[in-house]
Structures are given as C-alpha cells and as structure tokens.
Homo-oligomer: A and B are copies of this chain.
Amino acid sequence: MSNDKKITIGIIGMGRIGNVHFNNLKQINNVEIKTICDIVATSDWLEKYSVREVVKDYHEVLDGPEIQAVLICTPTDLHPEMTIDAANAGKDIFCEKPVGFDDEAILKAFNTVKKTGVKFEVGFNRRFDKNFDRIVDYRNEGSLGDEQILKITSRDPEPPSMDYVRHSGGIFMDMTIHDFDMARFITNEEVDRVFVTGNVMVNDEIGKAGDIDTAIITLMFKNGMMGVIDNSRQAVYGYDQRIELFGSKGMAHADNVTDSTTTYSSKDNVAGDKPMFFFLQRYMDAYKRELESFFGAVRGEHDVQCTFEDGIRAIRLAQAAKQSLDTGKVVSVKDI
C-alpha cells in the first residue's frame, strides 16, 4: 500500500505559514519532518519542534540525502532561487504562493523544474476547500451545463500592516492572486482579457503606498464566458469568501463558513454567527488537504493538483490586472 511509504521532508522558512504546515503535518501519517530551516532559528528549536535537525542555511536541507521533499515557506522573492536549488538537488517541492516576483527568475525556476522532472506544487490552498470543491463537483458532473458567469467575492476581514502592504507586491499579487487561481480552477477555463476598476476606500495609507484596497475585476474568458471578482481589504463582518458559478443548467453557490449553526431570535432580529474571521481558521481543512494532496503526488498516486504553470498563470492575471488599473483599459492576459 503506497500510504505505507514514509516520506522524509524538510521545511524551509518557519514563519507563520511554515508553522501552519508544521502543525498540520502532525496529523498526516507517514511523513517525517527531519529538518526545519530558518535564518533566525536557534538551538532550542530542536526541543521546541521535536525535530532531528534545525539549520539556518537552506542548502543544508537540500544536502540531506534522506530528504525526499521540501516545503518552501520563505518570502516570495526567494522562491525561484530555492526552487532551482531544490530541483537540482532532486527534491520534490511544495512552494508557497506566489511562485516569485521577477518574471525572469520565475521562468528560470520553471524550466529547471521541467528539466529535472521533480514534482512541484504551488500552495493555492483554496483549491482544497471542500465548499469550493463542491462547485467543481457540480461542474464536472454536468449539472451546471455550459458555464456562463463566474462570481467571486473575496474580502479580507482587515487590512494587513502597512509594512506588509509595502512588500506585498500589491493587492493583485498578494490577495487577488488567490481569486485569479480560483477563477481558473473553478471554471477549468483560461482568461483572455481583464478589466479592472479599483480605489482606495479603506485606508489612505494604502493609497500613499501606491496600492489600492477595493477593486472589481471583470474577467473575459477565452470560451466567451465572463466573470467578476470583487475585493476589499476590510469587511468588518469577517472573512468574506463566496464563489458562484452560473451555467445553462443551473448554478452552484458556495457561501461563507461560520463558527456555529446556532441562531438567536430576539425582539430585534434573528442573528447568526459572522463568517469566520481568520484565514487560517477558515481554510484550516484546506491547508491540511493541500499537503495530503502534495504527498499523494510525491508518492505517485495522482498528478500534482496545482502546478508551476498554474502558479505562473495566476501571476499573469495579476500583471494584467495591474496594467488595466493603471491604464483604465482592457488588457490581454499574457501566456506563460
């Protein structure tokens, strides 16, 4: 049974998302985290994390012959170089999104991965959310007929810190990139052109940093269908994550997720819980399922479910969106 084959891995980058994956891995059988790596790692991490090895230089992770796969959870600008080195070391790679900032570096990493033949998965966790997956189920079984309109509402509960905003690559690269990937994943179609309108409505500081915080993005697909994404950096009622796919035979609609199903009826109204506030809580299951899927691919049980190409195409959409915002015009989405 393939599940019996233990996979030994290393994690490069133990920031927030690195720790999320570390904790989820405890619940996944037959995967051992041998080494964790972070430039700020200290010797007491050996005990704190109960791992065999803690290093500061990621090359030491790649040197480990036992290590079959690595999770790259470092800042985005480091992704391409680490990907190249890991691929050349023959390690299968799970890399956080986006796959990089610099086009040339990204393509170099992409080509190295192709050449070396290692498995590479991008961490678009929302593909593994069971609510969104249900939409894909309905589409796959033909219940929706011809796809016609896609709608994605994606609003954060609160804006990130200004320091984060300044290094995020902008709203499209940091936040909408998830929605761009979902647009492709939910429809299984490619976007041809985009049109964007956006503004600073949440926090003037974001505008001063050269970014926007509220946007509506129209998607024109190659097959003639159309879509719209609406984004806000601040929905006071929580993390608003809804997707709707409308077709000739029906519509599938994934609503928000709440902490409980309990309502309170009073003299004022009938009130239920808000959408879950925190993205790690909202997508807790999805984060675990994406790792399980990665290890399934590493074991050869199925194809990689979110490829390097997917990672690049999401970036192409973000780049087109930025250009549309800047020019006020419809912009064609570049191929890889």
Contacts and interface: CB of A to CB of B under 8 A. Distances in A.
A226 interface: yes
Contacts of A275: 265, 270
A27 B330 CA distance: 49
B237 A266 contact: yes
Contact of A236 (B26, B237, B256, B267): B267
Nearest to A266: B250
A40 interface: no
A51 interface: no
Contacts of A199: 224-226
Interface stretch (A57-65, A115-123, A129-137, A173-181): A129-137
A7 interface: no
Interface stretch (A81-89, A93-101, A142-150, A162-170): A142-150
A155 B266 CA distance: 14
Query: What is the count of identical protomers in the complex?
Result: 4
Interface stretch (A227-235, A296-304, A312-320): A227-235
A197 B193 CA distance: 10
B220 A218 contact: no
A271 B269 contact: yes
23 contacts: A131-B260, A134-B259, A148-B201, A148-B214, A149-B232, A151-B230, A197-B220, A197-B226, A199-B224, A201-B224, A201-B248, A216-B218, A216-B226, A218-B218, A236-B250, A250-B267, A251-B265, A252-B263, A255-B261, A265-B274, A265-B275, A270-B272, A271-B271
Q: 8 shortest A-B CB distances, which residue pairs? A: A134-B262, A237-B265, A250-B266, A269-B271, A255-B261, A271-B271, A254-B262, A131-B260
